[in-house]
Copies of this chain bind each other. A is one copy, B any other.
Amino acid sequence: MFSKATEYALRATIYISQKSSVEKKLSLTEIAEAIDSPPSFTAKILQLLTKDNCVIHSVRGPNGGFYITEKDKHLPLKKILEAVNENDLFDKCILGLKKCSETKPCPLHFQYKPIKQELIHLFQTNTIQDLSEKADNESLFINNAI
C-alpha cells in the first residue's frame, strides 16, 4: 500500500505526538528505536516532515530534537502523506492507467471508487491527535515489540 518512507513517517509522527511537547523534545535515536525504523533513513523522513514546519518542528543542539505543537496535532493524517509525496495514491488508477477518470474509466474504476473514497475519508478525518490518543488509551502498537 504505502512505501517504507510513508510508513515510517506515519509511525514517527504518531510517536512524536504521544511523547513530545515544546518542553520535551525527542531525539532521532529515541524515535527510531520506538518505531522500529532505520535511524539514518528515518532522519531523512523527519526532515521532510519538518520542512517549512509543515507537520513537526525540530531544534538542534543539546536537549534539542523533534516535537509537535498542540495546534499541529489537529492536522489530518493526509498532511503527513503530502509531506512525503505519497499523496497521489488517491488520484491513481488501480490498474495503473496514467489518469483515473470518469470519462475514460478502467474496468475496475466504478467498483474501486467507493473504496478509494473511504481511504481518503480515513486520512482526511483522522487527525494526528486522534491516533496518538487512541494509541495511548487502548492497547495499540507502532512497533514490532514482542
Contacts and interface: CB of A to CB of B under 8 A. Distances in A.
Given A140-B109, A141-B106, A1 B97 contact: no
Interface residues of A, number: 39
Given A1-B89, A89-B1, A118-B118, A96 B11 contact: yes
A45 interface: no
B96 A108 contact: no
Contacts of A112: 122
Contacts of A107: 14, 131-132, 134-135, 140, 142
A96 to B, nearest CB: 3
25 contacts: A1-B1, A2-B96, A10-B95, A10-B108, A11-B95, A11-B96, A14-B107, A95-B142, A97-B141, A97-B144, A99-B144, A104-B141, A105-B141, A106-B141, A106-B142, A107-B132, A107-B134, A107-B140, A107-B142, A108-B122, A111-B122, A114-B118, A115-B119, A115-B122, A118-B118
